[in-house]
């Protein structure tokens, strides 16, 4: 078993700093097989979303695992087509029905599409009823967070944002840290969309520690205090990914990685209003 530390969120809830994300896992047989390996490797924190289309399979995998519900930390997200007070109530009930769970550990607004304030107010109610242990957001910029916090009561526990050595999010991180909002990194390995995994500086650091480049990147996230949940459907990779708690990057290595910032995203921009509008057309059953 691994020794994944917990991070305490601003409402006192504890979240394992290392988890597994299930984006783009859309084949049921593969999903069920991979989840067996994932639980076996020691992962207990799983990140899904209504949009990923696999909440129902995750619920089944949890039941079949025989592991106690309270040992898991399960996150799901409200999709862009479901914003609004009443819409959120319906979407959340559907998510819970698909997962077939009594409570959700963390529920996030997936993107800051229109009407996220009304969405949040519905989420606050479920939170107060105890049906969700913690509520947060994803892909929120500073101005979205300021806007949300000025109109609502509960401060988000987390903001889940694209983060990797090429896009480190320092300004947003500082704002989040000041407001006690934890940082979750999505696409922590760059989603295979760049040369990150063959970046010479990272290759050199990997040689120093006799680790893979993937492990160096994940260790960098962990050392910055970020919560991560990389995805892999391969046993050897998903086992090595979580195995980053027995070594430490030096200050110089952390500095060298800081120098890799490009200022460029590899994926969707939360300030791209057209992108948000288009994505909100995709309804989830
Ligand atoms: P990632 O950076 O985790 O990259 C995943 C890809 O990296 C895999 O497909 C695999 O090919 C490769 N990989 C994994 N381990 C590797 C290793 N050790 N060596 C080499 N290659 C390796 O990207 P992701 O899956 O998009 O992000 C992780 C999770 O973040 C998702 O599964 C999802 O849960 C979440 N996510 C959230 C949002 C959001 O908008 N909130 C967006 C994207 C992803």
Domains in the chain, start-ordered, CATH in brackets? Answer: 6-279 (3.20.20.100)
pLDDT averaged over every residue in the chain: 97
Q: Is the dihedral of CA 210, 221, 24, 171 positive or negative?
A: negative
Q: Which residues contact 249 (CB under 8 A, 6 or more apart)?
A: 205, 209, 216, 219, 220, 223, 257
Residues with CB under 6 A from ligand 1: 21-23, 47, 110, 138-139, 160, 186-192, 197, 212, 214, 229-232, 237, 240-241
pLDDT tens, 92-128? 999 999 999 999 999 999 999 999 999 999 999 999 9
| Catalytic residue (one of 51, 52, 107, 116) | 52
Identify the helix (H) or strand (E) that includes residue 149: helix 142-151
**Nearest CA-CA partner of 46 in 13, 80, 18:** 18
Instruction: Using most ligand atoms within 8 A of CB, pick from 190, 219, 230 the residue to mutate for ligand 1.
Output: 230
Under a CB-based contact definition with an 8 Å cutoff, are residues 218 and 244 in contact? Answer: yes
pLDDT tens digits, residue range 155-202? 999 999 999 999 999 999 999 999 999 999 999 999 999 999 999 999
Q: pLDDT per residue over 42-61, tens digit each?
A: 999 999 999 999 999 999 99
Percent of the chain with pLDDT over 70: 99
């Amino acid at each position: 078993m691994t020794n994944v530390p917990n991070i305490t969120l601003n409402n006192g809830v504890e979240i394992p700093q290392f988890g597994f994300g299930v984006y783009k896992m859309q084949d049921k047989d593969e999903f069920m097989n991979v989840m067996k390996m994932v639980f076996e490797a020691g992962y207990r924190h799983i990140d899904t979303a209504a949009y990923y289309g696999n909440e129902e399979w995750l619920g089944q995998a949890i039941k079949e695992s025989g592991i106690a519900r309270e040992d898991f930390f399960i996150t799901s997200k409200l999709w862009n087509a479901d914003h609004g007070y009443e819409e959120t109530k319906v979407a959340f009930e559907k998510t819970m029905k698909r997962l077939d769970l009594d409570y959700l550990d963390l529920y996030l607004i997936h993107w800051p599409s229109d009407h996220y304030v009304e969405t949040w107010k519905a989420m606050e109610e479920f939170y107060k009823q105890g049906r969700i242990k913690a509520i947060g957001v994803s892909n929120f910029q500073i101005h979205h967070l300021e806007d949300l916090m000025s109109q609502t009561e509960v401060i988000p526990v987390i903001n889940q944002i694209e983060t990797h050595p090429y896009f480190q999010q320092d300004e947003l991180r500082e704002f989040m840290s000041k407001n006690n909002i934890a940082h979750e990194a999505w696409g922590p390995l760059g989603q295979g969309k760049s040369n990150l995994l063959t970046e010479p500086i990272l290759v050199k650091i990997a040689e120093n520690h006799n680790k893979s480049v993937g492990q160096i990147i994940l260790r960098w996230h962990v050392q910055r205090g970020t919560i991560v949940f990389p995805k892999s459907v391969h046993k050897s990779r998903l086992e090595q990914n979580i195995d980053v708690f027995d070594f430490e990057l030096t200050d110089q290595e952390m500095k060298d990685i800081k120098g890799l910032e490009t200022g460029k995203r590899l994926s969707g921009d939360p300030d791209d209003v057209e992108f948000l509008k288009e994505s909100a057309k995709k309804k989830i059953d």
